[in-house]
Each structure stands twice: as structure tokens, then as C-alpha cells.
Amino acid sequence: MNPTTTPENIANSLKMYSTWVAMAICGLYGWWMQLPMEQQQQILAQWPALKYYAPIFSFAVWYAARVMSQNKPDTSLLGATNEPVTGPQIGVAGLTSPPAAPVVPETPPTMTLQLTASEIAAILNAAEALKKQAPQ
């Protein structure tokens, strides 16, 4: 891991979304503080929820910008973006693997049922009724 220095961090900070969001929030706060008190009171009277939700919204937007991935995908193997694709397409390569062999346990699981004679007769009667309903 290559630790970055403070000057490198400062230089790279303008590439971060959270820096831009924080600058916008600070700019809005500075604008708000420059308003006359009467105008601030008028705005808060018109939108009273603003005093409760503005800090929450500001933090949520900053946090979303902070955790958002800013890494660009590595396209170095693809060549330049304006490089034309030349030559005919010969074929399409693909990887195939044989289907996985099913796992068969050494001893099949068994389940024992203790059925009464009337239960067996009911099952056999139901099977006969289904055979009669089946299309021929």
C-alpha cells in the first residue's frame, strides 16, 4: 500500500464528489448567513420544515457522495476509445464446462411409514380413480 502525502490528498480532493457537495453546502450556508434576519424569518415562516430537514438532507447528500464509488473501470486492455476495430471477426470463443455430476449418497435415505389397512385401501382406491380419469 502506497500511503499518500498531504499535498497529494489536497490535489486529489477536488476529484471527490463529497468535496463538491461540501463546498455547495458551505456556499448555501454562507448565502443564508448573509441574508437579513427579517428575510431569514420570512423564509422559515413560509417553509417551517426547512429548519428541521435541511441539516438532515445536507448530511445525507454529503454521505451519499462520500460512499459513492469514484473508481473508473480499467479499460487499459481495451486500447484507446477512438481506436477502430479492424479485421474480420473470425469466431466467438467461449468457455464451457461439462455438467456437474450429481452427488449420490452411498445409502439412500429411507423413511418408514406405518400405515393401517384402511389407509392403504384408501391410497389404492385413489390410484384407481386417477387411472380411470387419465386420458387413454
Model pLDDT, residue 5: 82
For helices 50-67 and 17-34, what crossing angle results, to 10°? Answer: 160
pLDDT of 78 strictly over 80: no
Distance CA 109, CA 52 (A): 63
Which distant-in-sequence residues (6+ apart) come within 8 Å of 62 by Cβ? 18, 21, 22, 25
Average pLDDT for 107-131: 82
Which distant-in-sequence residues (6+ apart) come within 8 Å of 25 by Cβ? 58, 61, 62
Average pLDDT for 118-136: 86
Task: Name residue, grid cell 418408514.
Answer: 112
Distance CA 73, CA 76 (A): 9
Whether this model's pTM surpasses 0.85: no
Distance CA 132, CA 129 (A): 5
Average pLDDT for 76-85: 57
Please report, as a single letter, which amino acid is at residue 90: I
Residue 68 banded pLDDT, cuts 50, 70, 90: confident
Comparison of pLDDT for 66 and 95, the residue scoring more:
66
Average pLDDT for 18-43: 92
Q: Are 62 and 28 in contact (CB under 8 A)?
A: no
Q: For 4-25, write each residue's pLDDT tens digit.
A: 788 888 888 888 888 899 999 9
Q: Where are the domains of the chain?
A: 6-70
pLDDT of 27 strictly over 70: yes
What are the residue ranges of helices labelled H in 1-136?
6-13, 17-34, 37-46, 50-67, 117-133
Residue 42 banded pLDDT, cuts 50, 70, 90: very high
Q: Average pLDDT over the chain, rounded to whole?
A: 80
Distance CA 4, CA 2 (A): 6
